[in-house]
């Protein structure tokens, strides 16, 4: 058993628990986007960031990955944390201005309009679909392609994967609705993008 | 032959010494990548051809970078009973002349950069004078290497063999005292003793973060689980940096020896060298070094006749900057996407294939044998309070003496730039020096007395980094510099975490706008907000330090940002959208050269009459300024409303 404090509340959890799990067990809400309880944590959206103080030294960590430690002091709502979350959600709102989930989170965090020129992306690259396909369906059909801002989710050769069993897991976990079920099969973003650019060229 | 005793080692050493100092003329050509880029290969061909044609008994050897890249190709010549001389800026023609002049004893002294009258054996702490009883009188005026500014402020430790030995021959490394540290470690020291020595030396990682090396080794040794891995980071992705490449090309055995010592201390039997594929020569040299080390019983089973086994594999990286980051590097080694992971559980506990893994930089490894040989106290006596030993920098940019320099920690930046580097060329004014690689910072003139020290550089908003040092003169626009580094980082971000993927891009877009004259009030605050999101939010140090170029230029050159944003003016006259080319009618002689050179026919005027530039047609390529002999073609940035 490890005891720590989260937002001043002293709690005890078993070793190996993450801060996020511990917080949720005790009803403390931390926003997340790339986390799902049945999947491995990815630590990429950084929205679940919290401040931890240990031996008088404070730093920001992502709660979905950080393991609890004896005597740890966690602040889930400090000004530093809120400021970071606002910064992150502003970036996501710039990328995916039409996503309802992002809009709702932005509103919660008090960000109404991003200060950058908006993009028209649908996917935030949280990787939930990739992990569902690997870890739950065990089909391993999706992965990331390319890097940086060019990064996207795709199946090999940008083809609709033949081995897809249409379990729908990817569409179910997708926070932005980038993956849809059309005619009983998932329709991926790259397919729509291909179509769109085809229409433009034609 | 497998070396198992000190006698064996001594025997190889004798062979090596005979090669290092043959009783005949010996010519060594600096053939690291820097030398080859300036034509050392052709010089070598000319020398080899001429020596063979004339049937001369001259030893010809390849060696590594001698540091003074500005003067390359450099060739060193040893003649019996004469000082060793270093010839600069060699060409194939000069090489042919050299061979014949050596025959009649009349080397053109104008080619000589410097001479050596003795040789350092750093490991044994001795200087052996050469026999110079027949030194020609004309050599008297030639400066000793240690007397020229470029070399005399330097202290070559990690580079002590570079440019002196043939990196392709293990005997020469051994001749200089190589592998004696490993022999001592394996035969006389326990792992704990090795770790304690490295800890006491104060050696810190040379790859950027400056983590204490001995402490890292100890944590890895103590971590539960086997096997343990030892890895050398030779990814070197910083633009303009070539320290690690030069060490691998010039003295690969020093890195191998360091790694075997580390492996013994940590209890590892398998090592990896992760080296970028863009370093073909370095790869060739380490490959050869590994083969030779195996042959001599220094890698593989029963090293030096003990029961210690250790092998090294080479892994070539595809050239992604982020793959130099420890966790990305390990993912890439495993054959996965080169993306970092959170380091809440450190790689020393769970790294490569989830096993305890110890990663160190090339230069870090190369320091290890010296610490064992000369002792922790000696090593710790060099440098400052918290930064011990030396650091290699690649000194590039607007500097007279471009080169690879190794200085004791604590030397001031000013000494490196003004004394070693010979200052800024063409009488221009120094503006800033960028240290720490793309995510380092720019240090202005008034802070040049700062010492080379991990903490001091960090406090100044930059960092030690791996050793890139880019000098900038007054013609540099600092907003443009920040934009350049952010463009680099935007392209190299792996794209996994939101702050880095999105934040660096937005910051770069803001900078692009500012340099295009479309900056708005509030842009500086926007950049500062993005910097905070990056610092606190990014997954790895690529993103968390990506704001450094912006923050450091903002804090030291804020007025330049303001000039761009408020007055739409680029004070350094760099940003194309904010400058205008014109011809000074007073200075123009009407020679018509510029009008003929202008690619867009934007210059008009009668012969012998002042010319003018049609600013609508001008594409701001600068061709007119380049060709005008009278300095009449100029550019200005007067700002617009
Ligand atoms: C984006 C990024 C790139 C890096 N590139 C390199 C590199 O090319 N070479 C290197 O030795 N260390 C590099 N590092 C630092 C490594 O993560 C690591 O700290 C270092 O290799 C450890 O060795 P050391 O303790 O001997 O310095 C990089 C770090 C980051 C964040
Ligand atoms: S498609 Fe949806 S689930 Fe997949 S990475 Fe993008 S946002 Fe996440
Ligand atoms: S939920 Fe933790 S980083 Fe995304």
Reported as a single tens digit per residue, the pLDDT across A162-198 is 999 999 999 999 999 999 999 999 999 888 887 777 7
Domains A2-77 and A128-201 share a fold: no
Domain ranges of chain A: 2-77, 79-121, 128-201
Measured CA to CA, the distance from residue B343 to residue B490 in angstroms comes to 22
**Candidates B496, B509, B514, B540, partner chain A, best to mutate (most A CBs within 10 A):** B496
**Beta carbons of B77 and B47 less than 8 angstroms apart:** no
Interacting residues of B392 by C-beta distance below 8 A, sequence separation 6+: B158, B159, B206, B243, B246, B247, B363, B404, B405, B406, B467
Q: Could you give the count of Cα atoms lying within 13 Å of B448 in the half-sphere of its Cβ? A: 17
**Candidates A62, A90, A105, A115, partner chain B, best to mutate (most B CBs within 10 A):** A115
Q: Per DSSP, what are the bridge partners of residue B443?
A: B433
Measured CA to CA, the distance from residue B557 to residue B372 in angstroms comes to 45
Mean pLDDT of B429-455: 94
Answer whether B319 touches A (CB < 8 Å).
no
Measured CA to CA, the distance from residue B169 to residue B286 in angstroms comes to 11
> pTM for this one?
0.95
Interacting residues of B346 by C-beta distance below 8 A, sequence separation 6+: B219
Count Cβ atoms below 10 Å from residue B574 Cβ, excluding itself: 18
- B165 closest CA partner among B35, B31, B3, B72: B31
Mean pLDDT of B139-148: 92
pLDDT at res. B547: 93
Q: Is the pLDDT of residue B103 over 90?
A: no
Ligand nearest to the CA of B467: 1
pLDDT at res. A201: 60
Tell if the CB–CB gap between B502 and A44 is shorter than 8 Å. Answer: no
| CB A35 near ligand 3, within 6 Å | yes
pLDDT at res. A200: 61
Task: Give, for ligand 1, the residue of B199, B233, B331, B501 to mutate: max count of ligand atoms closer than 8 Å to Cβ.
Answer: B233
**Candidates A35, A46, A121, partner chain B, best to mutate (most B CBs within 10 A):** A46
Shortest distance between the Cα of B388 and any Cα of chain A, in A, equals: 26
Contacts of A84 in chain B (CB under 8 A): 532-533, 536-537
Contacts of A44 in chain B (CB under 8 A): 496-498, 539
The CA distances from residue A50 to A20, A30, A61, A127, B63, in Å, are 9, 9, 6, 21, 53
- Residue whose tokens read 């500005």: B70
Tell if the CB–CB gap between A146 and B499 is shorter than 8 Å. Answer: no
Please name the residue whose Cα sits nearest to atom 7 of ligand 2: A123
pLDDT at res. A55: 86
Q: Per DSSP, what are the bridge partners of residue B115?
A: B85, B144
| CB A132 near ligand 2, within 6 Å | no
How far, in Å, is the centroid of ligand 1 from the Cα of B204? 12
Query: pLDDT digit string (tens) for B196-249?
Result: 999 999 999 999 889 999 999 999 999 999 999 999 999 999 888 999 999 999
- Tokens for A163, please give them: 């081995």
Please name the residue whose Cα sits nearest to atom 2 of ligand 2: A174
Q: What sign does the dihedral B297-B302-B306-B309 (CA atoms) show? A: positive
B560: left (phi over 0), alpha (psi -120 to 50) or beta: alpha
**Beta carbons of B123 and B180 less than 8 angstroms apart:** yes
- B266 closest CA partner among B203, B190, B377: B190
pLDDT at res. A195: 79
Ligand nearest to the CA of B329: 1
- Tokens for A52, please give them: 């931890």
Tell if the CB–CB gap between A87 and B493 is shorter than 8 Å. Answer: no
Share of chain B above pLDDT 70, in %: 100
Interacting residues of A104 by C-beta distance below 8 A, sequence separation 6+: none
Catalogue all structural domains in chain B, each as residue range(s) with its CATH number.
11-152 (3.40.30.10), 178-379 (3.40.50.11540), 390-473 (3.10.20.600), 478-566 (1.20.1440.230), 579-636 (3.30.70.20)
Q: What's the distance, CA B623 to chain centroid? A: 33
- B230 closest CA partner among B209, B201, B255, B193: B255
Mean pLDDT of A133-142: 96
Task: Count chain A–chain B contacts defined by CB atoms under 8 A.
Answer: 99
DSSP codes joined into one string, B203-225: -B-SSSS--BHHHHHHHHHHSS-
Share of chain A above pLDDT 90, in %: 87
Residue B370's pLDDT band (boundaries 50, 70, 90)?
A: very high
Shortest distance between the Cα of A9 and any Cα of chain B, in A, equals: 23
Q: Is the pLDDT of residue A202 over 70?
A: no
Give alpha helix (H) positions in A96-184: 100-109, 128-131, 169-173
Answer whether B343 touches A (CB < 8 Å).
no
Q: Is the pLDDT of residue B25 over 70?
A: yes
By three-state DSSP, how is residue A199 classified? helix
Strand spans (E) along B93-174: 112-116, 118-121, 126-129
Measured CA to CA, the distance from residue B59 to residue B25 in angstroms comes to 6
Count Cβ atoms below 10 Å from residue B143 Cβ, excluding itself: 14
Measured CA to CA, the distance from residue B27 to residue A47 in angstroms comes to 62
- Residue whose tokens read 């792992």: B191
Interacting residues of A158 by C-beta distance below 8 A, sequence separation 6+: A190, A194
Query: pLDDT digit string (tens) for A13-27?
Result: 999 999 999 999 999
| CB A66 near ligand 3, within 6 Å | no
Answer whether B529 touches A (CB < 8 Å).
yes
Ligand nearest to the CA of A46: 3
Mean pLDDT of B112-137: 94
Tell if the CB–CB gap between A146 and B506 is shorter than 8 Å. Answer: no
Query: pLDDT digit string (tens) for B36-81?
Result: 999 999 999 999 999 999 999 999 999 999 999 889 999 999 999 9
Query: pLDDT digit string (tens) for A64-115?
Result: 999 999 999 999 999 999 999 999 999 999 999 999 999 999 999 999 999 9
Q: Per DSSP, what are the bridge partners of residue B397?
A: B471
Residue B431's pLDDT band (boundaries 50, 70, 90)?
A: very high
Which candidate from B320, B342, B532 shows the least CB-CB separation from A87?
B532
Measured CA to CA, the distance from residue B11 to residue B166 in angstroms comes to 18
Share of chain A above pLDDT 70, in %: 98
Query: pLDDT digit string (tens) for A145-159?
Result: 999 999 999 999 999
Spell out the CATH class of A128-201.
alpha beta
CATH number belonging to the domain at A2-77, selected among 3.20.20.240, 3.40.470.10, 3.10.20.740, 3.40.50.970 = 3.10.20.740
Answer whether B621 touches A (CB < 8 Å).
no
Q: What is the ipTM of this complex?
A: 0.96
By three-state DSSP, how is residue B579 classified? coil
Residue B106's pLDDT band (boundaries 50, 70, 90)?
A: confident
A67 phi, psi to nearest 5 deg: -75, 145
Angle between helices A100-109 and A79-95 (to 10 degrees): 150
The CA distances from residue B118 to A18, B316, B476, B631, in Å, are 63, 39, 43, 49
**Beta carbons of B122 and B157 less than 8 angstroms apart:** yes
The CA distances from residue B305 to A54, B4, B436, in Å, are 48, 5, 42
Q: Is the pLDDT of residue B274 over 70?
A: yes
Measured CA to CA, the distance from residue B141 to residue B127 in angstroms comes to 22
């Amino acid at each position: 058993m490890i005891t720590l404090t989260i937002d001043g509340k002293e709690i005890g959890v078993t070793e190996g628990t993450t801060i996020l799990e511990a917080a949720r067990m005790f009803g403390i809400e931390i926003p997340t986007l790339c986390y799902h309880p049945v999947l491995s944590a990815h630590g990429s959206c950084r929205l679940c960031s919290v401040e931890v103080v240990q031996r008088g030294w404070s730093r920001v960590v992502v709660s979905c990955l950080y393991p609890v430690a004896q005597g740890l002091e966690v602040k889930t709502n400090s000004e530093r944390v809120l400021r970071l979350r606002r910064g992150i959600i502003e970036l996501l709102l710039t990328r995916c201005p039409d996503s309802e989930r992002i809009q709702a989170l932005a509103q919660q965090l008090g960000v109404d309009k991003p200060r950058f020129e908006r993009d028209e992306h649908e996917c935030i690259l949280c990787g939930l679909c990739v992990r569902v396909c690997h870890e739950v369906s065990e089909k391993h059909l999706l992965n990331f392609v390319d890097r940086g801002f060019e990064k996207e989710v795709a199946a090999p050769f940008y083809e609709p994967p033949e081995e897809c069993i249409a379990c729908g897991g990817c569409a179910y976990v997708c926070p932005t609705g980038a993956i849809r079920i059309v005619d009983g099969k998932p329709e991926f973003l790259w397919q729509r993008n291909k179509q769109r650019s085809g229409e433009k060229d034609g | 032959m497998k070396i198992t005793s000190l006698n064996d080692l001594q025997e190889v050493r004798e062979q090596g010494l005979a090669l290092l100092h043959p009783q005949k003329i010996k010519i060594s050509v600096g053939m690291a990548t820097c030398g080859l880029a300036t034509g050392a290969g052709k010089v070598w061909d000319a020398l080899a051809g001429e020596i063979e044609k004339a049937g001369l008994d001259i030893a010809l050897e390849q060696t590594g970078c001698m540091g003074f890249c500005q003067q390359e190709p450099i060739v060193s010549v040893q003649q019996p009973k004469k000082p060793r001389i270093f010839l600069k800026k060699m060409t194939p023609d000069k090489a042919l002349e050299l061979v014949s002049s050596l025959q009649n004893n009349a080397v053109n002294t104008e080619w000589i950069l410097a001479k050596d009258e003795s040789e350092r054996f750093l490991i044994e702490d001795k200087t052996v004078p050469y026999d110079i009883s027949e030194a020609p009188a004309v050599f008297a005026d030639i400066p000793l290497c240690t007397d020229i500014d470029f070399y005399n402020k330097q202290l070559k430790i990690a580079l002590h063999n570079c440019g002196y030995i043939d990196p392709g021959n293990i005997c020469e490394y051994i001749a200089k005292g190589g592998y004696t540290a490993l022999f001592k470690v394996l035969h006389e020291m326990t792992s704990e003793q090795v770790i304690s020595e490295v800890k006491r030396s104060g050696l810190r990682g040379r790859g950027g973060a400056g983590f204490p090396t001995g402490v890292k080794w100890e944590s890895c040794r103590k971590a539960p689980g086997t096997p343990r891995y030892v890895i050398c980071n030779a990814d070197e992705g910083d633009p303009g940096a070539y320290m690690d490449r030069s060490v691998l090309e010039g003295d690969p055995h020093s890195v191998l020896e360091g790694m075997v010592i580390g492996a013994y201390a940590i209890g590892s039997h398998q090592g990896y060298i992760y080296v970028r594929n863009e370093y073909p020569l370095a790869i060739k040299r380490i490959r050869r070094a590994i083969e030779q080390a195996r042959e001599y019983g220094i890698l593989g089973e029963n090293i030096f006749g003990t029961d210690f086994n250790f092998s090294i594999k080479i892994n070539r990286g595809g050239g992604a900057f982020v793959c130099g980051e420890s966790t990305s590097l390990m993912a890439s080694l495993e054959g996965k996407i080169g993306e970092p992971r959170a380091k809440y559980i450190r790689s020393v506990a769970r790294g490569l294939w989830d096993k305890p893994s110890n990663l160190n930089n090339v230069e870090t490894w190369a320091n290890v044998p010296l610490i064992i040989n000369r002792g922790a106290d000696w090593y710790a006596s060099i440098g400052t309070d918290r930064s011990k030993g030396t650091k290699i920098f690649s000194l590039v940019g607007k500097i007279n003496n471009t080169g690879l320099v190794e200085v004791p920690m604590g030397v001031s930046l000013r000494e490196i730039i003004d004394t070693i580097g010979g200052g800024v060329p063409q009488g221009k004014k120094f503006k800033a020096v960028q240290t720490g690689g793309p995510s380092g910072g720019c240090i202005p003139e008034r802070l040049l007395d700062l010492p080379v020290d991990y903490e001091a550089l960090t406090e100044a908003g930059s960092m030690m980094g791996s050793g890139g040092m880019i000098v900038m003169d007054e013609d540099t626009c600092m907003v443009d510099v920040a934009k350049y580094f952010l463009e680099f980082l935007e392209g190299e971000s792996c794209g996994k975490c939101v702050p880095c993927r999105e934040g660096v891009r937005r910051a770069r877009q803001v900078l692009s706008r500012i340099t295009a004259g479309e900056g708005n009030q509030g842009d500086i605050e926007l950049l500062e907000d993005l910097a905070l999101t990056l610092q606190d939010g990014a997954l790895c140090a690529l993103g968390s330090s990506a704001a450094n170029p912006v923050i450091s230029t903002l804090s030291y050159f804020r007025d330049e940002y303001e000039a761009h944003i408020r007055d739409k003016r680029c004070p350094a006259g760099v940003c194309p959208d904010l400058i205008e080319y014109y011809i000074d009618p007073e200075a123009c002689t009407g020679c018509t050269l510029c009008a003929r050179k202008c690619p867009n026919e934007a210059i008009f005027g009668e012969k012998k009459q002042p010319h003018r530039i049609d600013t609508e047609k001008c594409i701001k390529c600068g061709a007119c300024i380049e060709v005008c002999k009278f300095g009449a073609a100029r550019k200005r940035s007067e700002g617009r409303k």
